[in-house]
Amino acid sequence: MQQKIIILDFGSQTTQLIGRRVRELDTFCEILPYNKFPQNDPTVIGVILSGSPYSVHDPEAFKVDLSQFVGKVPVLGICYGAQFISYANGGKVEKADSREYGRANLTQFDSQNPLFAGFEPNSQVWMSHGDTITAIPDGFECIASTANVRYAAYASTLQPIWAVQFHPEVFHSVQGTQLLRNFVVDICGSKQEWSAASFIDTTVNELRQQLGNDRVILGLSGGVDSSVCATLLNKAIGNRLTCIFVDHGMLRKNEFSKVMDMYNGLGLNVIGVDASDRFFKDLEGVTDPEQKRKIIGRDFVEVFNAEARKITDAKWLAQGTIYPDRIESLNITGKVIKSHHNVGGLPEEMHLSLCEPLKWLFKDEVRRVGHQLGIPDRLIKRHPFPGPGLAVRILGDITREKVRILQDADDIYISAMEQYVCPDGELLYDKVWQAGTVLLSTVRSVGVMGDERTYEHPVALRAVTSTDAMTADWAHLPYDFMAKVSNEIINKVRGVNRVCYDISSKPPATIEWE
């Protein structure tokens, strides 16, 4: 029986982070909308209530019937979760005189309380709330305070309920992981059996049972998720898995052949389809970004489907969908947003069922599973790359020549990044979430090379740091690195005479230019 922690999501931006922290404690968890607590599930060993953008007094605030789990399994309320528990039990929550935001220190805490086992005096925590608890309910006691927040943490004296107004899941709560460990492992009794190896064993067994002797089709992209998904399925059903990898001609330099070699090395049964002529033809003269995306999306689905149809006995379509793609996160209008899928729909007449073996994993777990499966680091640590490829990094119309220019510039940039060792010993490539070059082919500027005047295109370098691509900051690349890359691109890439660096964050910009 696999134990699990349920995290009820009240719409906080850090709910996913709570999930990741729990998984880092080798404990399985599920993030569910606040009103979807699973009834009668004996595998649930504890419940965490997340923060929320609401005040408990807002008419639209999310409310939950605590009796579904209180007294049955241990409960931890975080921020809004803590305020809601107080409010629902007759305590008092009021607007704070000033918003309590940022670092604070636990000036007092009950070192005998199991939630604070191992805590250092004055432990730093992170606060972020506009309301504050001014009175805790009967039957509860204060177990920690900061200089400004009297009830930084409180607990029930009668039932297994704990509540903290700070955010243990964020990095700035220095002993936050310790607190979550105290809750998940010591209080809830997690046996910490969730690991990459156990996930692979369990999943391979489940896939064998689910798929029997059926044939499965999977679309590979060269990215981490689809590659790990394919390798896992290959381990379960071997050659009954057929992978299709479509080359639309706008991949990185030599990427199609490099990735095909890697897949063959992993023993995957892969059909590589070079459909670049068709894509270039259909994109001829198209300059509008949305139009480009639509054409590529449509062509991709058609090429993929044409290949898939040839595998007449296939019963399943496998996808590398991962957990963050699926989590029903709540926005503050109260609507539940169902997240996207990443592959276009296959024709209904094929009657394929969907198989998504990575659907419970966070990105870093997918990487750990990939590593455990023996997938080379180069593939596991790859930066994300957009489905439409370099097409969304060429402003203006797309030609083979422009793709060639961009591939050459991108290759110089990314290879240099893969080789650049930072002072802490980590590769620059691994520090950056995503990097690439953009060809401003609608712009020309004057330059001079040797004695010749040039009038050519600029290339923009883009590099961002991020944790989920929803928000991103431009990466502060070392100047010596940028100097080397700029020099090499201008000297070696015919058609480029200027290099710029994009210093826009997301929002308001996006990571890709189109």
Judged by the rule CB under 6 A, the positions of this chain that interact with ligand XMP are: 342, 384, 386-388, 434, 469, 506, 510-512
- 321's tokens: 């969908």
Rounded distance, CA 350 to CA 108, Å? 64
Of 73 and 469, CB closest to ligand XMP? 469
Q: How far is the CB of 169 from ligand XMP (least distance, A)?
A: 23
Helix (H/G/I), strand (E/B), else coil: 80: helix
Of 102 and 507, CB closest to ligand XMP? 507
Q: How far is the CB of 469 from ligand XMP (least distance, A)?
A: 4
Report which DSSP code applies to 89.
T
Q: How far is the CB of 231 from ligand XMP (least distance, A)?
A: 20
The residue assigned the tokens 């957990």 is 323
Report which DSSP code applies to 135.
E
- For 198, what's the count of Cα atoms within 13 Å in the CB-facing half-sphere? 12
Rounded distance, CA 72 to CA 230, Å? 40
| 68-73 contact pairs (CB < 8 A, 24+) | 68/37, 68/39, 69/6, 69/37, 69/44, 70/159, 70/161, 71/159, 71/160, 73/44, 73/45, 73/46, 73/47, 73/160, 73/188
Helix (H/G/I), strand (E/B), else coil: 490: helix
Q: How far is the CB of 221 from ligand XMP (least distance, A)?
A: 7
Sign of torsion over alpha carbons 67, 128, 187, 162: negative
Please state whether beta strands 329-330 and 336-337 pair in parallel, antiparallel, or not at all (unpaired). Answer: antiparallel
Q: How far is the CB of 211 from ligand XMP (least distance, A)?
A: 26
Q: Identify whether the C-beta of residue 80 lies closer than 8 Å to the C-beta of residue 34.
A: no
Q: How far is the CB of 511 from ligand XMP (least distance, A)?
A: 3
Helix (H/G/I), strand (E/B), else coil: 97: strand
Of 224 and 511, CB closest to ligand XMP? 511
Q: Spot the catalytic one: 29, 79, 188, 355.
A: 79
Q: Identify whether the C-beta of residue 269 lies closer than 8 Å to the C-beta of residue 410.
A: no
Of 125 and 243, CB closest to ligand XMP? 243
Q: Identify whether the C-beta of residue 256 lies closer than 8 Å to the C-beta of residue 273.
A: no
Q: Identify whether the C-beta of residue 86 lies closer than 8 Å to the C-beta of residue 136.
A: yes
Cβ neighbors of 302 (< 8 A, separation 6 or more) are none
Amino acid identity at 172: H
Cβ neighbours of 449 (radius 10 Å): 11
Of 77 and 249, CB closest to ligand XMP? 249
Rounded distance, CA 170 to CA 364, Å? 17
Of 24 and 512, CB closest to ligand XMP? 512
Of 444 and 506, CB closest to ligand XMP? 506
The CA–CA distances, whole Å, from 300 to 255, 273, 294, 450 equal 17, 11, 10, 44
Q: What is the dihedral of CA 257, 261, 267, 270, to 10 degrees?
A: 10
Q: How far is the CB of 293 from ligand XMP (least distance, A)?
A: 6
Q: Identify whether the C-beta of residue 389 lies closer than 8 Å to the C-beta of residue 233.
A: no
- For residue 169, indicate whether it is catalytic: yes
Q: Identify whether the C-beta of residue 32 lies closer than 8 Å to the C-beta of residue 185.
A: no
Of 66 and 438, CB closest to ligand XMP? 438
Q: Spot the catalytic one: 29, 30, 100, 169.
A: 169
Q: How far is the CB of 387 from ligand XMP (least distance, A)?
A: 3
Rounded distance, CA 370 to CA 379, Å? 9
- For residue 284, indicate whether it is catalytic: no
Of 77 and 388, CB closest to ligand XMP? 388
Q: Spot the catalytic one: 129, 167, 248, 457.
A: 167
- 198's tokens: 């156990």
- Taking CB positions, which residue lies at the least distance from ligand XMP? 387
Q: How far is the CB of 351 from ligand XMP (least distance, A)?
A: 26
Of 71 and 387, CB closest to ligand XMP? 387
The 10 Å CB-count burial string (b at 16+, else e) for 72-91 is ebbbbbbbbbbbbbbbbbeb
Q: How far is the CB of 225 from ligand XMP (least distance, A)?
A: 10
What residues are labeled active site?
A: 79, 167, 169
